Amino acid sequence: MGLHCQVKYASLCIPWSTGDLENMSTNTQQDSSSVVSFQVHPDSYKHWQLKVDGDIARLSMDVDPDGGIRPGYELKLNSYDLGVDIELADAVQRIRFEHPQVRCIIFDSASEKVFCAGANITMLRSSTHNWKVNFCKFTNETRLYLEDASEFSGIKSLAACAGATAGGGYELALACDEILLVDDSNSTVSLPEVPLLAVLPGTGGLTRVVDKRMVRRDRADVFSSLAEGMKGKKAIDWNLIDATAPLSQFAAKTTEMARNLADSVDDKSDRVGVELKAIEPQSSAGSLKYSMVEFTYNETTRCGVLTLELPDSAGTDDVGEIFAQGSEWWMFKMFRELDDALVQMRVNMKGINVVSVRVVGDVQVALDADHLLMANQKHWFCDEVQLFIKRVLKRYDMTAKSFFALADKGTAFAGTWLELALGADRFYVLDDADVTVNLGVSMANGGPYLMGNGLTRLETRFLGDPELAETVLNAQGIVAAADADALGLSTESLDEIDWEDEIRLYLEERASYSPDALTGMEANLRYAGPETLETKIFGRLTAWQNWIFQRPNAVGETGALQCYGTPSRPQFDYNRT
């Protein structure tokens, strides 16, 4: 996680509930007093400097100590909070779309003393458990998106670390393809969370050390127990970094390594980028409305409704015209809006536990949209849009809400949008002879949107009978509601007489359960099948981290997280659990 670490943003006007305000006034652990926006722009970055020179981009960390996303702590030594990561996620996204010629990103620091000291400890110990969990989750996703850019978009990354690279700072370096460290008496890499804070590296540090860099587990054990970290030749020998250079040669070595990384992928100099225009939802009490996405919610019932509305037609199939529309192309815009809605649900609507999901429109429009997207995959923009949709669907998978997809009159769960039903915890389908309800299957359900386990949502759904996944794919086109149950698509098919009452009871029942137990249950069930680095990070590492964040040894009055930076030494309960 880190030893120490925002963003200029416009506040939305969704109010906090009375209970939240009362808790904030009486609890020393506070969440933000205003609603967080995830919409930023490089012109307003507080913590990162983005420079692009041909096919090399440079992201320099320059954290504003007084620029925390909420008051009460100082972001010393390039330590970070959620706001710093919101900017980082935005920057990586903009490089992919606005600067598609880039083949390598250099991550460095504007400070001469430190690369990054990790997550800000004062922020962590003054935050509610919910805030800590969602901070870790967003940070995890951002690191994974950087690795996704390397694997699928030909954008390699180099961490050029001058000074201390600790905790979450080293975890950012681990997400890069290569790590360069200054060879001097002060520059080290470390994961000091266990010895200093009694928590775990919360953004995949342990997993990346052994699964990505293939460090021997006994050496990883030693390394993760050293508060002071490692430097120089030993760090290279243990494969914790790739190279070192004295300070006098550091800039030249950085340039050399970045050039080699860039030249290792295909040339993209003929690409012209598209501007990512701001997503501007209209918000009011109980409602968050975009142009094609709407989320309405009721704090009393703890339930919400997420609705995606398809246009009347899929539009042009001319890739030149699609590219000219850029971020206003409806398919890209819809999923950008969905992405924003998901992160807002997590952070700003924490009391909403059950979400009904509906896709409204014509099934044929959805299938036509998939066809034109798949047909134009050779164009970098269409390819990047599909990769973006994959990342949004993964964020959907990892959002701690119970998702119940509802297919009734006027809905269009087809192709790409069928993924929302397949990724939901349950999928109810209205099957009535007097009501036309259609679903749809396309090639988009057969590979482009792999989950974190490396499988499609169909393969994950039919883990015990893979032939059923093939059966569904062979049924490409419009699928009648009457066939949904036989194909294994619906959790349950209901007729018109039972629909309203049954759905109401299912939602009320779900909302009555412990949200903690539901989050644990859903995280286990959503990632059936093989374990990958990504499922370890989300299904194992963050699950343990979230539990440890509630243990007295970390956050109690004498816990390590509470005592860090004070004259007091932590006092532990040494009984293992």
- pLDDT of residue 541 exceeding 90, the answer is no
- Nearest 10 degrees: Cα torsion 36, 41, 44, 45: 80
CB 47 within 8 A of CB 120: no
pLDDT of 3 above 90: no
pLDDT tens-digit readout, 427-456: 999 999 999 999 999 999 999 999 999 999
DSSP 510-538: HHHS-HHHHHHHHHHHHT-S---HHHIII
Question: What is the C-alpha to C-alpha distance for residues 261 and 156, in angstroms, rounded to an integer?
Answer: 6
pLDDT at res. 31: 55
Q: Are 490 and 427 in contact (CB under 8 A)?
A: yes
Share of the chain above pLDDT 70, in %: 94
Enumerate the H helices of 153-212 as residue ranges.
Answer: 168-175, 193-197, 205-207
Give the Cα separation of 62 and 28 in Å (integer): 29
Domain ranges for the chain:
39-263, 285-517, 520-563
Mean pLDDT for 41-56 is: 97
Q: The tokens of 321 are what?
A: 């015209």
Within a 10 A sphere around the Cβ of 368, how many other Cβ atoms? 18
Task: Tell me the CA end-to-end span of the chain in Å, nearest whole number.
Answer: 22
C-beta of residue 334 within 8 angstroms of C-beta of residue 384 = no
Pairing, β 282-284 against β 293-298: unpaired
Is 39-263's fold the same as 285-517's?
yes
Closest CA to 1 of 143, 179, 187, 157: 143
Residue 113 has pLDDT above 70, yes or no: yes
Radius of gyration from C-alpha coordinates of the chain:
24
What distance lies between CA 76 and its chain's CA centroid?
Answer: 25
Closest CA to 518 of 406, 353, 395, 396: 353
| 537: helix, strand or coil | helix
Which pLDDT belongs to residue 398? Answer: 94
What pLDDT, on the 0 to 100 scale, is given for residue 34? 73
> Using N-to-C axis directions, what is the helix angle for 380-397 and 129-152, rounded to 10°?
150
Pull the structure tokens for residue 156: 């390699």
Sign of CA dihedral 262, 264, 265, 268: positive
Q: Rounded to an integer, what distance in angstroms lies between the CA atom of residue 505 and that of residue 508?
A: 5
pLDDT at 17: 31
Residue 155: name the closest of 60, 240, 219, 91 by CA: 91
Q: Which fold has domain 285-517?
A: 2-enoyl-CoA Hydratase; Chain A, domain 1 (3.90.226)
The pLDDT assigned to 1 comes to 53
Q: To the nearest whole percent, how much of the chain has pLDDT over 90?
A: 88
pTM of the model: 0.93
Average pLDDT over residues 174-183: 98
Residues 6+ apart with CB under 8 A from 226: 190, 192, 195
Look at residue 21 and tell me whether its pLDDT is greater than 60. Answer: no
Average pLDDT of the residues in 396-400: 96
The helix (run of H) or strand (run of E) holding residue 253 is helix 247-263
Query: What was the pLDDT predicted at 545?
Result: 80
39-263 maps to which CATH number? 3.90.226.10
Mean pLDDT along residues 487-494:
96
Mean pLDDT, rounded, for 145-159: 97
* SS3 of residue 116 by DSSP: strand
Judged against a pLDDT cut of 90, whether residue 206 lies above it is answered with yes
